[in-house]
Amino acid sequence: MTRAAHDAHVLIIGGGGTGGALAHDLALRGLRVTLVERGEFTSGTTGRHHGLLHSGARYAVNDHESAVECIEENRLLRKIAPGSFEENDGLFVAITDEDMAYLPGFLEGCAASDIPAEQLTPEQALRLEPMLNPELKAAVRVPDATMDAMRMPLRFFATAKRNGASLLNYMEVMGLLMHDGVVSGAGIHDHVTGRDAEIHADLTVNATGPWSEKVALMAGVDVPIRPSPGVMLALRGRLCNMVINRLHASGDGDIVVPQRGLSIVGTSSWVVEDPEDLGVPQDHVERMVTEGSKLIPAVATAPHRAAWSAARPLIGSRGEADSGRELSRTFKTIDHAAEGGAEGFVTITGGKGTTLRGMAEVCADVVCRKLGVDEVCRTRETVLLPHIAYFAA
Amino acid sequence: MTTTRGFRVFRFSRESGPSRFDVFEAEVEPTSTVLDALRWIRIHRDPSLAIRHSCLHASCGTCGVRVNGREGLACVTRLADLDPGRVTVEPMANFPVMTDLVVDMTSFADRFPAPHPATRTSDVPSSAEMPDGIDAYERFEDCIECGLCLSACPVVATDDTYVGPAALAYAQRMLEEPRGADVGPILRWADADNAAWRCHAAFECTEACPSNVRPAQRIMQLRRTLTSGGDGS
């Protein structure tokens, strides 16, 4: 039986890029949407990333699925969020013989994933980016770009709000409303007023990234998430205009992203139990400088602006990963009823900033199927409002 | 090496009456920032403490506060750089407080002439010749909309109708590089009583700006443009 979209109320827990994109998708389909976030929107993982719009090339060799997701979303986001990206492209730079051995497989992987990849000579690369390590042996140009890690996702919030979604920050979920194995909403605490309340919903979506295991436990179900933090270092000054990547298997300090007047060096990777209080290990910061300066020597001397950590929500069971590098960057929607757990409760997790729209589409399809709502996704062709509309609405 | 540091933090809730200061002792490291300490307090002492933050590296502009009376982004204000003793943290001035250190940013957006600029694509040349080094790539798009210039501005403090430094810096940036836009309406907007001529040239905005936009210098340039008949050069 189909039900009218406006009769269905969905509660989204988590105001990161995933939750925002899901609110936008469901609001476009005509559903009633409430999103709750315990702090400011994008304050968990989304806003802290280095600002890379992935071309997918980083995953071209080892993670074909993620590579394809990234290039598709890369093309789509440029269309629906014009003005949110520096159209600066990226270079993958080979420094050592070992890097050169990685090159043929890299080019094949890019071709197999439909990622445009143009091989450049060292001279061509240095003409584009004079501050690169002059010892480079080769470079490959790919359609990476720089985004604003907060303002690009905020456009999904702005558009969802305009389409009627209720977006509530400083609203923390204290527990789920459950009866006979069915989730029917959440008990929340409003940090602005100090009041407690209940929000009732036909379906509740857990979009809390690295916190999704904790929230799933409130429904007595397991989400195999490995919070995997990475350290990033912001240097003063633009050391490059393109995104500079090291041409080798994913490793520490192998990317420099120019972001306004800063250059961001990332990242490291380890695995934690609790995504709350990550700390910034000083040896990781030093590794960003050591490894980053192999790409751009000026990284060694540029003044530091900030160093911080963010936790990726990688999918994997305990014991499966030591550093997090082994885990796929793809995403997963879990219908907990289908897995014998709670009814009325769906988790969307994994993924990355670049794939937020695609994650939302897949999850919204599951949500609509479960609710009997027959509406198709319209986010591929809907141009998003500017981020400032979020404040002006 | 972990030590403790005292904090006086502004607290306010619309439901529970007048504002107050709460005192906390936070565990801090030699490299800790004001935001690190506030997050530590929220996690370990008082989960009801409301703070804004997102990127943690002076790129998003959400964590603007006043630390010991001076405007700054909490994420890059290092405790080691402050005077010894207890640190006082207050929300930005000249914005309505929603709760604790969180202000309502709606009025920031309202000050700009339409259409609002801030998401236009940054100008990145296709071939990177760097005539004057990387400093030549300074762009208005460097504005991170944090509001610290408005918090620091002595004119905004007494006259809320003044559009303030961020919007005027934007106007000047548009005149510098209109990219085909009609600059006539921007010049008329900037020439109004509550715009470029209302500035008292205190330069507090430039002092407060964490992103090198230098609003005060841009306002001075904007005045020169207005008096010279508006060719923007």
Tokens of A198: 């209940």
- Cα–Cα distance measured from residue A81 to residue A384, given in angstroms and rounded to the nearest whole number: 6
Domains of chain A: 5-45+151-224+328-392 (3.50.50.60), 86-143+227-313 (3.30.9.10)
Interface of B with A in 133-152 (CB under 8 A): 134-135, 137-139, 141-142, 144-145
When CB atoms are compared, the residue of B44, B75, B124 closest to A86 is B124
Burial class from Cβ neighbours inside 10 Å (0-12, 13-18, 19+) for residue A76 reads middle
CA distance B127 to chain A (A): 5
User: Average pLDDT, stretch B74-85?
Assistant: 97
Q: Mind listing the domains of chain B with CATH numbers?
A: 3-103 (3.10.20.30), 106-227 (1.10.1060.10)
Q: Do residues B37 and B7 make contact, with C-beta atoms less than 8 angstroms apart?
A: yes
The CA distances from residue A4 to A30, A33, A372, B69, B129, in Å, are 9, 14, 8, 54, 57
Q: Which pair of tokens denotes residue B133?
A: 């080094």
| Chain mean position to CA B114 | 20
Calpha distance B88→B72 (Å, rounded): 12
Chain B nearest C-alpha distance from A369 (Å) = 34
What backbone phi and psi angles, to 5 degrees, belong to B43?
-75, -45
Q: Side chain identity at A165, as an amino acid letter?
A: A
Identify the pLDDT of residue A374.
97
- What is the complex's ipTM, to 2 decimals? 0.93
pLDDT of res. B127 = 33
The answer to whether the CB of A388 falls within 8 A of the CB of A165 is: no
Mean pLDDT of A275-291: 94
Residues 167-226 of B with CB under 8 A from A: 211-212
Lookup: tokens for B147: 């509001």
Give the SS3 label for residue B30. coil
The closest of A299, A300, A245, A288 to A125, measured between CA atoms, is A245
Q: What is the pLDDT of residue A314?
A: 86
Give the pLDDT confidence score for residue B17 in this predicted structure.
Answer: 79
From A21-25, A37-41, A257-261, A302-306, the region with the lowest mean pLDDT: A257-261
CA gap A69, A82 in Å, rounded: 20
Q: Is the pLDDT of residue B146 over 50?
A: yes
- Beta pairing class for A52-53 and A171-179: unpaired
Tell me which amino acid residue A350 is: G
Q: Which residues of B touch A41 (CB under 8 A)?
A: 54
Please answer whether residues A81 and A384 qualify as being in contact, where contact means their C-beta atoms are separated by less than 8 angstroms. yes
Rounded to 10 degrees, the C-alpha dihedral A118/A294/A56/A275 comes to -170
pLDDT digit string, tens, across residues B203-212: 999 999 999 8
Whether the full predicted model's pTM is greater than 0.90, yes or no, is yes
In the three-class reduction of DSSP (H, G, I as helix; E, B as strand; rest coil), residue B224 is classed as helix
pLDDT value of position A321? 53
Min Cα–Cα distance to chain A from B227, Å: 31
Range among A109-123, A219-233, A253-267, A317-331 rated most confident: A109-123
Phi then psi for A350, rounded to 5 degrees? 85, -155
Q: Greatest CA span in chain A, whole angstroms?
A: 68
**Token pair in block for residue B111:** 């000050």
Which residues of chain B make contact with A42, given a CB cutoff of 8 A?
54, 60
Q: Which residues pair with residue A227 across a beta bridge? A: A313
Q: Using 50, 70 and 90 to split pLDDT, how confident is the model at B126?
A: very low
Report the mean per-residue pLDDT for chain A.
93
**Closest alpha carbon to B123 in A146, A244, A154, A47:** A146
User: What is the pLDDT at residue A33?
Assistant: 98
**Residue B91 to residue B72: CA distance in whole angstroms:** 10
- Cβ–Cβ gap A47/B124 under 8 Å: no
Interface test with B, best of A45, A141, A190, A388 (most B CBs within 10 A): A388
Q: What is the tens place of the pLDDT at every residue in B87-124? A: 999 999 999 999 999 999 988 888 888 766 544 454 43
Helical segments of chain A, H only = 17-28, 64-80, 97-112, 122-128, 151-162, 212-217, 282-295, 356-371, 389-392
Alpha-carbon gap, residue A339 to A251, rounded angstroms:
35
Question: By three-state DSSP, how is residue B185 classified?
Answer: helix
Distance between CA A41 and CA A16 in Å, rounded?
Answer: 6
Burial class (CB in 10 A: 0-12, 13-18, 19+), A383: exposed
The letter for the amino acid at A220 is G
Percentage of the residues of chain B whose pLDDT score is greater than 70: 86
Instruction: Compute the nearest-CA separation of A390 from chain B (Å).
Output: 9
pLDDT digits (tens, 9 = 90+) for B21-69: 999 999 999 999 999 999 999 999 998 999 999 999 999 999 999 999 9
| CB neighbourhood size of A119 (10 A) | 15
Mean pLDDT of B150-159: 97
- Residue A381, pLDDT score: 93
- pLDDT over 70 (residue A28): yes
Tokens of B64: 């603007």
With CB atoms and an 8 Å threshold, state whether B119 touches A386: yes
Q: Phi/psi at B67 (nearest 5 deg)?
A: -110, 120
Gap between the Cα atoms of A44 and A20, Å rounded: 13
Q: Are B122 and A86 in contact (CB < 8 Å)? A: yes
Rounded CA-CA distance B87/B163 in Å is 31
* Burial letters B38-68, b for 16+ CB under 10 A, else e: bbbbbeeeeebbbbbbbbbbbbbbbbbbbbb
Contacts of B55 in chain A (CB under 8 A): 47-48, 149-150, 308
* B13 interfaces chain A, CB cutoff of 8 Å: yes
Which 8-state DSSP code applies to residue B123?
-
Name the minimum distance, in Å, from the CA of A386 to any CA of chain B.
7
Burial letters B162-172, b for 16+ CB under 10 A, else e: bbbbbbbbbbb
